[in-house]
Structures are given as structure tokens and as C-alpha cells.
Amino acid sequence: MIPFKTVSEAVERRMSVRAFRPDPVPGAVVRELLEAAARAPSGGNLQPWVVHALAGEPLAEFKALVAARLMDRDEPEYHVYPPNLWEPLRTRRYQVGEDLYGALNIPREDKLGRLQQFAKNAEFFGAPVALFFSVNRDCGPPQWSDIGMYMQTLMLLAVERGLDTCAQEFWSAYGRLTATFLDLPADHMLFCGMALGYRDETAAVNSWRSRREPFEEWAVMRGFDQDAP
């Protein structure tokens, strides 16, 4: 276990890892993380999240199923990004893509190379554990926010255990396929997936960090001491 002593250290360590070692994660550890993350807050204590975890043969079976119809996507049930993305959100999304492919030396004109890297989502970037998060269709944005808080809590707990993650809204494009495989009830829809495993520290794709905007661009503070940082 990496000896992180503070939440701040776990927050700093966490990133979207896109290359994992094949080392298996014990089922007892996965269950411990999933259970501990359930202390995440939720409005009215609804705890609206439903989580499915795959490893071993079931995960191999699912990946083979997806590979067989990788180009046959489902109609997404929600927009991952708002239509006609505006500034500064549009530039932020563009920049993170350029930084990612730049770390891999895949230029913009190499369309095939970029597609091949993007397709690694379907392999969970080599992670030995796949997680899926679903929610009842009658739930609204507040409950989706609750799921986000559960996922963030889980990701930080994973870091504490020496593990890493990558949240994947990629799976919204295979929602029906995934729901069928997981045998989700008809009144539930898939939100997203997550890769979980041990980071490959030697992989170039893990050598960069996404940027964050200056505090002054997104925060306003009023009523505090003038010398507050």
C-alpha cells in the first residue's frame, strides 16, 4: 500500500490512468473499496447507485462481446457533453485531447492512431477490474450527482490502497449492450464505467496530467479577511 496519510495526497495522486498492469486485484479488496465508498453523501440518503464489478472470465467475455461490435454503437441515452460546446469549455476539452495525444506522439493528422488509442477504452486500458454504475431511470440530476460523489470517493479510496482508476463515459455509447450483459432491470440505465487496477508507471500515456484553470477564473470569495490567499 502506498502510505498516503492525507486526503490531499490522494487527490494529488489521482488521475485518469490509461495503461494498467495486468496484476489481478483481490475480490476482497474490491468489495472493501465499494463498501467503504458507500459512505459518500447522497441527498435524502437515497444512495441511488448500483454497481457491477467484473474481473477474470466474465470481464474477458464482456470485452470479446464489445470487440465484436465495436463499430456498432448504441444510441446514447444522454449527452456526455452539451451540444455545441461553448467557451471556455470547448477549449478545455480540445486542450486535454491535445495533451493526451501529445504525450503519445500521435499528431492530429494521424486519425488512425488516435482512433486506436481511443479504442483502448473498450479494453479498460488493460485494467483487471471493470466497474459499471447505473441508476433508476426515474432519478434526476441530483441523484446523478450522488453517483458522481460515490465514484470520486471510490477513486480516492483506491489511491489509498495503491490502486488507480479511469472513469469512462465511453460506455454510454454501449449502454444497451452493457445493460443486457449485466442483466440490468428495464427501469435502470447505465451511467458510465470505470477501469480499476495498478498503474503502469512506465507507460507514456500516464506521464502527463490534465490542466486546471486558475482559481480566479471559476471561484468568487466574499466576506473573508482581505489577506486571505
Span 117-168, pLDDT tens digits: 999 999 999 999 999 999 999 999 999 999 999 999 999 999 999 999 999 9
Q: What's at 64, amino acid-wise?
A: A
Q: Does the CA dihedral 51-55-60-61 come out positive or negative?
A: negative
Flag whether pLDDT at 53 surpasses 80: yes
Radius of gyration of the chain (CA): 19
Q: What is the pLDDT of residues 102-129, one digit of tens each?
A: 999 999 999 999 999 999 999 999 999 9
Q: Rounded to the nearest 5 degrees, what angle is found at the Cα of 47, between the Cα atoms of 190 and 33?
A: 80
- Distance, in Å, from the CA atom of 139 to the CA atom of 148, rounded to the nearest integer, reads 14
pLDDT at position 225 = 83
Calculate the alpha carbon distances from 43 to 2, 35, 133, 140 in Å. Answer: 32, 18, 18, 11
Q: From the centroid of its chain, how far is CA 4?
A: 21
The structural domains of the chain, with segments of one domain joined by +, span 7-77+123-208
20 residue type, one letter: F
Q: Can you tell me the distance from the alpha carbon of 229 to that of 224, in angstroms, rounded to the nearest whole number?
A: 10
CATH of 7-77+123-208, picked from 3.40.109.10, 3.40.50.12780, 3.90.79.10, 3.10.580.10, is 3.40.109.10
pLDDT at 193: 98
Instruction: Decide: 157 and 36 in contact? Cβ < 8 Å.
Output: yes
Whether 219 has a pLDDT exceeding 90, the answer reads yes
> What pLDDT, on a 0 to 100 scale, did the predictor assign at position 76?
86
Q: Tell me the whole-structure pTM to 2 decimals.
A: 0.94
- Dihedrals φ, ψ of 28, to 5°? -65, -35
Given a contact cutoff of 8 angstroms between Cβ atoms, the answer to whether 52 and 132 are in contact is yes
